[in-house]
Amino acid sequence: MPPAVAGEEVRRLEQALDVIRTGRVVAVLRGEDGTRLAAAAEVLVESGVRAVEFSLTTPGALEALERYSPGAPARACVGAGTVLSAAQAREAVARGARYLVTPALAPEVVAAGAEMDVPVVCGALSPTEILSAYTAGAAIVKVFPASLGGPGYLRLLRDPLPRIPLLPTGGIGIEQVPDYLAAGAVAVGMGGALLGDAALGGDLAELGRRARRLVSLLGEAGAAA
């Protein structure tokens, strides 16, 4: 790859963090197969949710990622989730992922991301795991599953670990999002409460309605801040 192209690729990949931080939400796309993931991603991005994560637990997710990424709107930021190995990380990036997400501390994924200049959102729960993930090179640490401790737990984590950007994910309802942001989250990860049955053949119009409600709440939270 010519140096100019390589430099442009690095710049494009690094923009993923800006989208996550400014948009303050990552939508987790998961289904029984990958056939509906792209359609759900299109609705979400059109509704204002710019960061979409194709979960590798979905059969066909990589193929769906590869189909969606080339024609995705410039404002979209497409990533791969539930990445558990360096091999998966490399394949996901080859298929179009601009960021990687793990459910747990996964040093080899963080290392692979660093090699490719792709940010990794690494999952952790306890203070020890969170610090370990960040020290290993995670760009953002995903607090998972967030619903175990709620916004109160996140607020407690911020006291001793104020410089680590935290992204709570797992069991968060749409109406709870402002509470997590007020507790110090840099962004939130939204799965079932946002996606509903859209990836299973459900109503995409309802997905759009939920996404617009979420974006409205994010705007209100920003104004309050």
For the record, the structure tokens of 150 come out as 């709620």
Q: What is the pLDDT along the chain (225 residues), one digit of tens a residue?
A: 334 445 555 555 568 999 999 999 999 999 999 999 999 999 999 999 999 999 999 999 999 999 999 999 989 999 999 999 999 999 999 999 999 999 999 999 999 999 999 999 999 999 999 999 999 999 999 999 999 999 999 999 999 999 999 999 999 999 999 999 999 999 999 999 999 999 888 999 999 999 999 999 999 887 655
DSSP for residue 203: -
Task: Find the catalytic residue in 9, 32, 53, 115.
Answer: 53
Class level of CATH domain 16-224? alpha beta
Is 142 a catalytic site residue?
A: yes
Tell me the whole-structure pTM to 2 decimals: 0.92
Is 63 a catalytic site residue?
A: no
Task: Find the catalytic residue in 63, 66, 108, 142.
Answer: 142
